Amino acid sequence: MQSLTQDNFDPTLKASPHPVLVDFWAPWCGPCKALAPVLDTVAAQFEGKVGFAKVDVEEYTEARTRFNIKGLPTLVLFKHGEPVARLTGSRPAKQIALFIDEHLQAPAQPAAAPSRTFGGDAARKAACIARLRQHLAAGAVRRSSQTYWDGREGSPLGCATEAGVHEAPPTLGIPRPLLSLVEWLGSAHDSEQEAAEFVLRWLEALPVDRDARGVAADLAADLLSHPQAFDLRQADPEVQRLHAELVTLHRADADGQAVTADAWSRVHAALRAHAPDPKDRGPAAALARALAEAAAPLADDAAVINGLVNAAMQLAAARVRREQQWTQDDALALQKVQRQIIDTWPEFKGHAMRDKVEELAPELGRKLKAQHRAKQAAAEAAVAMLMQRTAACA
């Protein structure tokens, strides 16, 4: 896979006769390393149709700001040198391949989601709910943070609409950031059943013939303002001021007011200045980094709201780890136990994995479950806000 630098990035992508999937990564990023062999597999599948390249953001540092890279790894698909779509986080080969296929087949300008939910048609809402129930009963629902439908199985919203990431938003009458958030929250559950049931509750709560375009931005402001999600009591006064400004920007975005790109960029850069070292995992740096990643308009990047919810979950778990006086030795011991479980009982995931850790290493298991409960509490707070904003959309 070709490595791109600041010097050869633009010339290489503009000269490519094919779309190019670029992997933005860093040497210290564990998920990035895990994704590398997966990308090699996908690259072989699309040989002659799609180019593959990678960018070390520690070397090409300006790439983070230029392409609004919020988390690593991030995969960005380029056509004629311009970014057209992205995936954040390590993904299985099948999901990356579906992502590429959908965008290879997509029109140059995908249809915009209509401004009214379900196109104002109550029968369409009922049909979406019925399809999801039918596919759940048939075992065709798959947990996925990316909306997809391959004709036989799919993500919860892919099954509800029998459509992919481009066609599902117009069917539901919602913007992509909201679609992405619902799928992402569903994928955070431990089973396909739980994920589908969550999405069913959300579909039932979504009123017909409403304007849902401001829901995700309002939710972002709600979450940023939640004291248990983003605890600013010990934060630097300047970070507190930037946090208040960030909430104001998202409220304005939700109300349909024009927010300039310079306004977002200025807040993002100021917050990043409070966490200059990406290896710094201290609470102050983690908070500033999380806020900086939320400094972007949701209409431009569906990953922003997902990253914000994930940041709230990770910050909650980090607070518990500090209270537990969690050490690097604890982390290494947990990795060893989890590897043993994966090698011996590969079917153990989610609840079953945590229960087995507690059986084999009781103290570690209790600590792990406490961290998980903190993350779940943050996720449940986000879900409650989402349901409230969904039901109240005008």
pLDDT (tens digit, 9 = 90+) per residue, 171-214? 999 988 899 899 989 988 888 899 999 999 999 999 999 999 88
Q: Cβ distance 54 to 2 under 8 Å?
A: yes
pLDDT (tens digit, 9 = 90+) per residue, 308-336? 888 898 899 999 999 999 999 999 999 99
DSSP at 240: H
Candidate from 56-70, 131-145, 367-381 with smallest mean pLDDT: 56-70
- pLDDT score, position 302: 65
- pLDDT score, position 219: 92
pLDDT (tens digit, 9 = 90+) per residue, 275-296? 887 678 788 888 998 898 888 8
Catalytic, 32? Answer yes
Residues 22 and 100 reside in one and the same domain: yes
Locus of tokens 């999600």:
229
Residue 272 lies in a domain: no
DSSP at 118: G
Q: Cβ distance 13 to 66 under 8 Å?
A: no
Q: Cβ distance 215 to 389 under 8 Å?
A: yes
- pLDDT score, position 184: 87
DSSP at 91: -
Query: Catalytic: which of 29, 128, 159, 393?
Result: 29
- Of 205, 229, 253, the one marking the end of a domain is 205
Residues 146 and 183 reside in one and the same domain: yes
Residue 45 lies in a domain: yes
Residues 156 and 90 reside in one and the same domain: no
Average pLDDT over residues 98-127: 76
Residue 356 lies in a domain: no
Answer with the residue of higher pLDDT: 128 or 254.
Answer: 128
Task: Report the domain count for the chain.
Answer: 2
DSSP letters spanning 298-331: TTT-THHHHHHHHHHHHHHHHHHHHHHT--HHHH
- pLDDT score, position 369: 96
- Of 71, 105, 139, the one marking the end of a domain is 105
Residues 46 and 100 reside in one and the same domain: yes
CATH number for the domain harbouring residue 76: 3.40.30.10
Residues 122 and 83 reside in one and the same domain: no
Q: Which amino acid is at 33?
A: K
Backbone angles phi, psi at 317, to 5 degrees: -65, -35
Locus of tokens 């084999």:
360
Residues 96 and 181 reside in one and the same domain: no
Residue 364 lies in a domain: no
- pLDDT score, position 88: 80
The H or E element spanning position 201 is helix 192-205
With cut-offs at 50, 70 and 90, classify the pLDDT of residue 300. Answer: low
Residues 136 and 98 reside in one and the same domain: no
**Residues of the chain with pLDDT > 90: what percent?**
53
Residue 262 lies in a domain: no
Asked whether residue 70 carries a pLDDT value surpassing 80, the answer given is no
- Of 205, 224, 243, the one marking the end of a domain is 205
Residue 249 lies in a domain: no
Instruction: Report the b/e string of 23-33 with b at 16+ CB within 10 A.
Output: bbbbeebeebe
Q: Cβ distance 308 to 293 under 8 Å?
A: yes
The residue range of the domain holding 99 is 2-105
CA distances from 9 to 15, 71, 156, 276 (A): 10, 20, 37, 24
Backbone angles phi, psi at 313, to 5 degrees: -65, -45
- Kindly state the tokens that stand for 254: 């939700």
Residues 98 and 152 reside in one and the same domain: no
Residues 59 and 145 reside in one and the same domain: no
Q: 207 preceded by cis ω (within 30°)?
A: no
Tell me which residue of 239, 243, 211 sits closest to 225, measured CA to CA: 243
Provide the whole-model pTM: 0.74
pLDDT (tens digit, 9 = 90+) per residue, 359-390? 999 999 999 999 999 999 999 999 999 999 99
Q: Cβ distance 259 to 347 under 8 Å?
A: no
Query: 3-class SS at 261?
Result: helix
Dist CA 106 CA 51 (whole Å):
17
- Kindly state the tokens that stand for 37: 């062999």
Residues 99 and 122 reside in one and the same domain: no
Residues 79 and 146 reside in one and the same domain: no
Residues 96 and 160 reside in one and the same domain: no
Residue 192 lies in a domain: yes
Catalytic, 128? Answer no
Residue 321 lies in a domain: no
